[in-house]
Chain A
Amino acid sequence: QVKLQQSGAELVKPGASVKLSCKTSGYTFSTSYMSWFKQIPGQSIEWIGMIYAGDGGTGYNQKFKGKATLTVDTSSSTAYMDLSSLTTEDSAVYFCARHYGGYPFDYWGQGVMVTVSS
């Protein structure tokens, strides 16, 4: 069955960077897209950007350009998101979710809490 397993919770200091992972199984990773999302608890969801696992092509929400960098490792069927220059505003739950062209996000990771605090 399709699974997206995200890395564990992170506590990071302001100004630091963090790399989140999303390890997939149960489907052909290289023919799919992976998107990433930010959700502050109790609030709505923001789309950060997406990456096509086949060639690493990316598309970002302008709001997150310079903040997030998406990559994939097809050998391990894993997607990554680097978040840089973290501030307290970046404290949130981050999700990954699979999708295909013309079809919305059908499988999601369990989410990972990132807390930015000194």
Chain B
Amino acid sequence: DIQMTQSPASLSASLGETVSIECLASEDIYNNLAWYQQKPGKSPQLLIYYASSLQDGVPSRFSGSGSGTQYSLKINSLESEDAATYFCLQDSEYPWTFGGGTKLELK
């Protein structure tokens, strides 16, 4: 199975700041990488697919980049509603696997 190592596990940032979350795949996943946001008690929401494509309706302050085994999610100008846990997902090879998650707290 492809292992997805996500970092950091948690981070704290202030409103208006910019943060980045990283995902490292155990092998090349050819940009087949998605990012999800999950708030407590809710289902995950798709933010980014195919490494850098913004899902319809997602604010443009979210962006994704990367290739090969290394990918990142960047959130510009943090807003209070961005407090959540973020997961990466590889859908390059079965079984599809998620990263361990990054809990983002707003100061």
Query: Chain A: residues with CB nearer than 8 A to chain B?
Result: 35, 43-47, 59, 61-63, 95, 97, 103-106, 108-111
Contacts and interface: CB of A to CB of B under 8 A. Distances in A.
Contact of A45 (B45, B46, B87, B94): B87
Interface of B is mostly: loop
B100 A104 contact: no
B89 A104 contact: yes
A44 B95 contact: no
A107 to B, nearest CB: 8
Nearest to B95: A61
A43 B99 CA distance: 10
B98 interface: yes
Interface residues of B, number: 19
Interface in B4-57: 34, 42-46, 49, 55
Contacts, number: 45
Contacts of B89: 45, 104-105
Contact of B46 (A47, A61, A104): A104
B44 A62 contact: no
Contact of A47 (B42, B49, B98, B99): B98
A62 B101 contact: no
A20 to B, nearest CB: 14
Residue of A35, A43, A61 with most chain B CB atoms under a 10 A cut-off = A61
Nearest to A99: B91
B76 to A, nearest CB: 23
A37 to B, nearest CB: 9
Contacts of B87: 44-45
